[in-house]
Amino acid sequence: MIHTVPAEVLHLSPEAPDPQAIARAAALIRAGQLVAFPTETVYGLGANAFDSAAVARIFAAKGRPANDPIIVHSLGGIPEGVVDWSQLSDQAQRTAQALMAAFMPGALTLVLPRGARIPPNVTAGLPNVGVRMPAHAVAQALIAAAGVPIAAPSANRFAHTSPTTAQHVYADLAEHIALILDGGATQVGVESSILDLCSDPPRLLRHGGVPLEAIRACLRAAHLPDSVAVISRYAEGDSEPLSAPGMLLKHYAPRAALTLYEGADDAILRQALMVAAADITADDAKARVGVLLAAEDAPFFAALPMLCVQVVGARDDLEAVAHNLFAALRALDAQGVTHILARGFPTQGIGAAVRDRLVRAASGRVVRL
Ligand code: TXA
Ligand code: MG
């Protein structure tokens, strides 16, 4: 759907959004329209989750294939008809309760049996539905005012980098949606972790804002089994797309070709990036190289003004790296780079999500040193 007028942008306080602006957005949701809004992870593109025609507009606006299911966002619990709890084993129900108490609201999505009020296009025909409760005042106010759960994928064009600012949403979707709620930059910066509780043991389908270590610690504290099957959606160095919905390797992709360098100490990583950048520009005079660095690397690259440098944070400040990652990729695209060379970061905690997004942005081009 192409709108004749580009999306309207309403600026809101991320802590205390103006109720009148929220009421306008909620009225659009109830009328079956789309509204982009901030969550603590990334911006979402929302529609009434109970309205299959509204959900169809999400797929059209994003250019998203119909086999990619959409997460349902709720507030203060999971509304009647969203999840069919009777389809879940007792242990899985206890697991869901423990995780909801610990991480909702927050950056965790649980995959649970689909309830009767969720139309099939929300789950791409799957018997299970992803649910999450966002920890962001704008998202919460919108859900409360709409009075319905909100189905929302990340508010980017399909397979593009997820948006962490309203400007990113505008750049991707302005011609396709009516309204964008601008609550500033999102805090976490990578999407929610997705845990499927419909299999035993539970399966981690996506690393995200809630680290796997925290999920397992929560299960242990609740005296529940803490084993989690981590679904590797890509084999190491493999560029085959995967069969499961929404799990394409080439996801979160900037326009430029990205290569990820990892596995060595900082000095060797820097050296490898510099040599690769020199090789690329020697081969092709029109090539423009961007480098994605840690703060510690920046001084070493200061003498190379031909490179477009993006610093995402101190090497061990993985929260900052996650927060800045997608904006850095978009900034390099905006500078017109043809190649991006990215260094790896430590992979514990939210670092696992950072690595996952970088490997996808690289379409599997990972150089291990
Ligand atoms: O942080 C987030 O999760 C953001 C914000 C907006 O909430 N949303 C988000 O949605 O990242 P999206 O659609 O870009 O990614 C959701 C992923 C997709 O890869 C989809 O395949 C998976 O979640 N998913 C959703 N429902 C599912 C289901 N029923 N079973 C398996 N995977 C599911
Ligand atoms: Mg997405």
Cα of 39 vs centre of ligand 1, distance in Å, is: 13
Phi and psi at residue 78, to the nearest 5°: -100, 120
Instruction: Give the residue-averaged pLDDT of 164-183.
Output: 97
CA angle, residues 84, 90, 95, in degrees to nearest 5? 85
What number does CATH give the domain 8-230?
3.90.870.10
**Helix, strand or coil, per DSSP, at residue 53:** helix
3-state SS record for 172-189: HHCCCCCEEEECCCCCCC
- For residue 292, what are the contacts with CB-CB under 8 A and spacing of at least 6? 310, 312, 328, 329, 332, 340, 341, 342, 343
Listing DSSP states for 60-111 in one string gives: HHHT--TTS---EE-SSSPPTTTB-GGGS-HHHHHHHHHHHHHHSSSSEEEE
pLDDT digits (tens, 9 = 90+) for 131-153: 999 999 999 999 999 999 999 99
Atom of ligand 1 nearest to the CA of 244: 21
The C-alpha atoms of residue 300 and residue 123 are separated, in whole angstroms, by 48
> Which region among 99-108, 194-203, 224-233, 331-340 has the lowest average model confidence (pLDDT)?
224-233
CATH class of 257-368: alpha beta
What's the mean per-residue pLDDT of the chain?
A: 93
Instruction: Give the residue-averaged pLDDT of 316-334.
Output: 97
Is residue 253 predicted with pLDDT exceeding 80?
Answer: no
- The answer to whether 110 and 94 have CB atoms below 8 angstroms apart is no
Cα of 131 vs centre of ligand 1, distance in Å, is: 9
CA angle, residues 4, 5, 6, in degrees to nearest 5? 120
Measuring from atom 6 of ligand 1, which residue has the nearest CA?
44
> Which region among 192-201, 233-242, 346-355 has the lowest average model confidence (pLDDT)?
233-242
Is residue 235 predicted with pLDDT exceeding 50?
Answer: no
Atom of ligand 1 nearest to the CA of 154: 14
Nearest listed ligand to the Cα of residue 156: 2
Is residue 205 predicted with pLDDT exceeding 80?
Answer: yes
- The answer to whether 337 and 308 have CB atoms below 8 angstroms apart is yes
> Which region among 5-9, 25-29, 236-240 has the lowest average model confidence (pLDDT)?
236-240
- The answer to whether 60 and 1 have CB atoms below 8 angstroms apart is yes
Burial (CB count <10 Å: 0-12, 13-18, 19+), residue 232: exposed
Residue 364: pLDDT band by 50, 70, 90 thresholds?
Answer: confident
Is residue 80 predicted with pLDDT exceeding 60?
Answer: yes
Measuring from atom 24 of ligand 1, which residue has the nearest CA?
69
What pLDDT, on the 0 to 100 scale, is given for residue 232?
Answer: 73
Stated pTM of the model:
0.95
**What residue ranges do the domains of the chain occupy?**
8-230, 257-368
Report DSSP state, residue 114. Answer: B
- Percentage with pLDDT > 70 across the chain: 93
Measuring from atom 15 of ligand 1, which residue has the nearest CA?
153
What pLDDT, on the 0 to 100 scale, is given for residue 239?
Answer: 39
What pLDDT, on the 0 to 100 scale, is given for residue 342?
Answer: 98
Neighbour count for residue 258 (Cβ, 10 Å)? 24
The C-alpha atoms of residue 231 and residue 189 are separated, in whole angstroms, by 22
Which H or E element spans position 249? none
- Asked, as a colleague might, if the bond just before 241 is cis with ω within 30 of 0, I would say no
- For residue 303, what are the contacts with CB-CB under 8 A and spacing of at least 6? none
Residues within a 6 A CB radius of ligand 1? 39, 41-42, 44, 68-71, 109, 111, 123, 126, 128-130, 132, 152-154, 191-192, 194, 205, 245-246
The C-alpha atoms of residue 255 and residue 237 are separated, in whole angstroms, by 20
- More confident site: 245 or 202: 202
What pLDDT, on the 0 to 100 scale, is given for residue 245?
Answer: 44
What pLDDT, on the 0 to 100 scale, is given for residue 237?
Answer: 40
What pLDDT, on the 0 to 100 scale, is given for residue 251?
Answer: 59
Atom of ligand 1 nearest to the CA of 155: 6
- Asked, as a colleague might, if the bond just before 119 is cis with ω within 30 of 0, I would say no
Is residue 236 predicted with pLDDT exceeding 50?
Answer: no
Instruction: Give the residue-averaged pLDDT of 325-337.
Output: 96
